[in-house]
Homo-oligomer: A and B are copies of this chain.
Amino acid sequence: MSNARRSERGPMMTGGTPLRSLDEEELLGHIFPAFPPGADLVVAPGDDAAVLRTSDRTIATTDTVVLGRDWLDAWSSGADIGHKVVAQNLADVAAMGGVPTGVLVTLVADPELSLEWVLDHVRGLAEVCTAAGVAVLGGDLSSAPPGVVMVSVTALGRLDGEPVLRSGARPGDVLAVHGSLGLADAGLRLLQADAPDRLPEATERQRRPEPPLAAGPQAAAGGATAMLDVSDGLLRDGGRIARASRVVLDLDLSALVPDVDALADVLGAEQALDCVLAGGEEHSLLATFPAGVLPAGWRAIGTVRAVRDDEAPAILVGGRVVTHTGWDHFRAT
């Protein structure tokens, strides 16, 4: 959400019961009961640390969202943010070929933040954890300067087979996607245009991404050679596979026509194509497979070929280089 770079003290801080009116134990007393227990939890949160039943290899990843940079109070509820920050972490576990098992959640917030927002937030994250069979392993609460709210999640996962890295794509592989493309970015554009109802499916995807978690281990078992989740856009994330694997990915634009068509009526063809090629926060899975073995639910959108003498590893669209720089967290824009 590159153009939402501002802090605010909106409704989430001005209605209801401010956090400063509770002590930490009271606050945790509200929060803990909402957490799903999780099948693999040996020691629940509340001691120095939690204990999780694990296999011989554990996947770990972390991702943080900041009010004003990653979301706006006016566009997303507490539950939306709880859902989104957990879902994007679980997507990273799935993108390694793993099954998410646990999360730790840290809330750093202006003490004016309302308890009602926090409880709604906890409901959102508990829902997505419950649906995925994921335990809440713990967390931390800290106060922050006025207007600041951030949520940081660490997700753990179980790896039953070999991890699927970005670096394993081989010439001759098929490039495939599981899930939608461009929908979350279209939703962001509609929110920015104050027209969220023009394509509710897109707005909902922006607010509550639905990564195809089961498709990660499915792809790993089905022979995927490289995989990641589309968090920064098809071109940017595809470029990561290309560079890590030292190959060229060639997107077949005709395979993306259904994705573009789904958005073009509302956004126009040009913006729709931009959403599909460069839209972030979708959290669908992008992977490469040996030709002929595409598992159910995956659709081919391109091919992998060797790098020629005169070129660098890259992602091409219909054989041509398309540049897209995306955006950086610290760079002034």
Chain A interface (Cβ < 8 Å from any Cβ of B):
5, 7, 19-24, 27, 42-43, 47-66, 68-70, 92-93, 95-96, 98, 102, 104, 106, 108-109, 111, 137-145, 147-148, 150, 152, 154-157, 159, 163, 165-167, 227-229, 244, 328-332
In the complex, the answer to whether A47 meets B166 with C-beta atoms within 8 Å is yes
Distance, CA A20 to CA B328, complexed state (A): 9
In the complex, the answer to whether A143 meets B330 with C-beta atoms within 8 Å is yes
In the complex, the answer to whether A143 meets B66 with C-beta atoms within 8 Å is yes
Distance of A329 from chain B, by nearest CB (Å)? 5
Question: Which of B66, B109, B111 has a CB less than 8 Å from the CB of A144?
Answer: B66
Q: Report chain B residues within 8 Å CB of A155.
A: 49
Say whether, besides A59-B49, A62-B140, A165-B43, A330 and B156 are in contact (CB < 8 Å): no
Question: Which of B22, B157, B330 has a CB less than 8 Å from the CB of A19?
Answer: B330
- Which residue of B has the minimal Cβ distance to A69? B143
Instruction: List 16 A-B residue pairs with CB atoms under 8 Å apart, sorted by A's residue number.
Output: A22-B330, A47-B165, A48-B92, A50-B61, A52-B59, A54-B54, A54-B56, A60-B137, A70-B142, A108-B108, A141-B329, A142-B150, A142-B329, A144-B148, A150-B150, A154-B154
